[in-house]
Amino acid sequence: MKKKILIVGGGTAGTMTANNLAKKLMPEIERDEVELVMISDSKNHYYRPGAMYVAFQKAAGHEFIRDQRSLLMPEIDFFVDPAVEINTKANYVKGKSGKKYDYDFLILATGCEVAAERIPGLVEGGDWFYTYEGAKKIAEKFAKIKSGKILVTVNFPKTPNIPHQCGIAPVETTMMLHDYLTERGVRENIEIVYTYPTKAQAVENGLFLQSPTSKVLPSVFDSINVRHQTGFTLAKVDPESKIAYSEEGESISFDILMSTPPFKAAKVIRDSGLSKALDNEGWLPTDKKTLKVIGLKNVYTLGDTVDLPVSKAGGTIHNQTDVVADNIAAELRYGYPTESYDGKVIAVAQMGLTCGMPLWYDYAEDVKPTPCSKLGSFMRLGFNKGLYWAAARGML
């Protein structure tokens, strides 16, 4: 009997995994033994890290958008039909259209979304670069400001040991902001204040979510005249007075508030009953090695939806996708998974507009800061504007 593999989500995680599965299972597909189906809530594919460049007017945004169908191998059936119900007992996912998509194996790659409404006043008084709409909005403000104060805040999920989306992004954008304002000739008239919450995953009273990087950041920020402060956990924002208040009882005024907002899993995941995460955040309980949803034999997850203590970023997905694809292929062929994810994350951080820093870490070892260079920035930009699309198609 033909086996059906259903991928929910057309972002980086879903697209790479679907294409990897198509390649690995080509013999079974050609024998009509396996069917691959993807459903997504959009006909477009958005490269999310590109929004960061839009915020500093280094990209318009359209460069990072492709037609989703064009990224998928022809062996994959694709439907624009937002998932609204997941039934793991009857093995189906229902789309908004009312259609039920049956499966033998399910891959949940639905990502996460901005949840700024979870902090009073943040929607009205804050800005962020994690969406293209938000990036365009803050870009207009960055282009106009000539003097004043830009406040950077970072929010973590309520669920312990879970990172926000793209852990290095607040550092990246703070340094890019410094370079951008310097280019505009207004940096000396603008104060940049970088703040970090008291608790950030396993680190307390630091400036980053891992200790080695947290320890070097003060000297990095001092070198570019960025004021830095730990122990500032954003509690609420007064959008009229432009004041940010912390859970620790402090307040900081601002002209622009650049925030890493709260995040939550997609609604269909939060409504599924599969997650036990705090505050209905929706992170899926994930086996750290197999990447199966804990308690479910035929459901896998990866990317931003998981509850693992690794970055919710593309550099993580690139190392998870082969594990998921290999394990499903092995289950079909041998009856058991064969691969194990070690928590590896590999990426190049954009530490300013012209400097890139390679970084990598895994479950056992924190990221180690490495020298930043123009070559590193060239590699990052080259990946963003070209190589990513090859990677999404499963070619890298």
Give the mean pLDDT of 47-56.
93
Do residue 143 and residue 216 come from a single domain? yes
Give the mean pLDDT of 179-191.
97
Query: Do residues 134 and 263 make contact, with C-beta atoms less than 8 angstroms apart?
Result: no
Q: Is residue 222 part of a domain?
A: yes
- Give the model confidence (pLDDT) of 269-284 as tens digits: 999 999 999 999 999 9
Do residue 10 and residue 50 come from a single domain? yes
Give the mean pLDDT of 41-64.
93
- What's the domain count of the chain? 2
Q: Is residue 394 part of a domain?
A: no
**396 pLDDT more than 80:** no
Helices (H), the chain: 12-24, 26-30, 51-55, 68-71, 122-125, 132-144, 169-184, 211-223, 267-270, 314-334, 374-382, 388-392
Do residue 275 and residue 255 come from a single domain? no
Do residue 231 and residue 185 come from a single domain? yes
Q: Supply the pLDDT for residue 201.
A: 84
For the chain, give the percent of residues with pLDDT over 90.
86
Do residue 294 and residue 163 come from a single domain? no
Do residue 166 and residue 208 come from a single domain? yes
Phi, psi of 8 (to 5 degrees): -105, 115
Domain boundary among 209, 237, 262: 262
At 359, the pLDDT band (50, 70, 90 cuts) reads: confident
Do residue 167 and residue 272 come from a single domain? no
At 357, the pLDDT band (50, 70, 90 cuts) reads: confident
Shortest CA distance to 13 belongs to which of 273, 202, 284?
A: 284
- Give the model confidence (pLDDT) of 141-176 as tens digits: 999 999 999 999 999 999 999 999 999 999 999 999
**108 pLDDT more than 90:** yes
- Give the model confidence (pLDDT) of 199-239 as tens digits: 998 888 999 988 888 898 999 999 999 999 999 999 999 99
Do residue 70 and residue 168 come from a single domain? no
Length of the chain, in residues: 396
Shortest CA distance to 157 belongs to which of 99, 94, 233?
A: 233
Please state, rounded to an integer, the average pLDDT across all residues of the chain.
Answer: 95
Q: Supply the pLDDT for residue 123.
A: 98
Q: What is the CATH number of the domain that holds 337?
A: 3.50.50.60
- Residue 207 burial (CB < 10 Å; 0-12/13-18/19+)? buried
At 370, the pLDDT band (50, 70, 90 cuts) reads: confident
Q: Supply the pLDDT for residue 97.
A: 98
Helices (H), 88-155: 122-125, 132-144
Give the mean pLDDT of 320-338.
97
CA distance 244 to 95: 40
Give helix then strand counts, H and E, for the chain. 12, 23
Q: Supply the pLDDT for residue 339.
A: 97
Do residue 23 and residue 132 come from a single domain? no
Q: Is residue 393 part of a domain?
A: no
CA distance 352 to 380: 12
Q: Which domain, by its residues, includes 153?
A: 116-262
Give the mean pLDDT of 99-121.
97
* Bridge partners of residue 35, in order along the sequence: 4
Do residue 211 and residue 86 come from a single domain? no
Q: Supply the pLDDT for residue 71.
A: 97
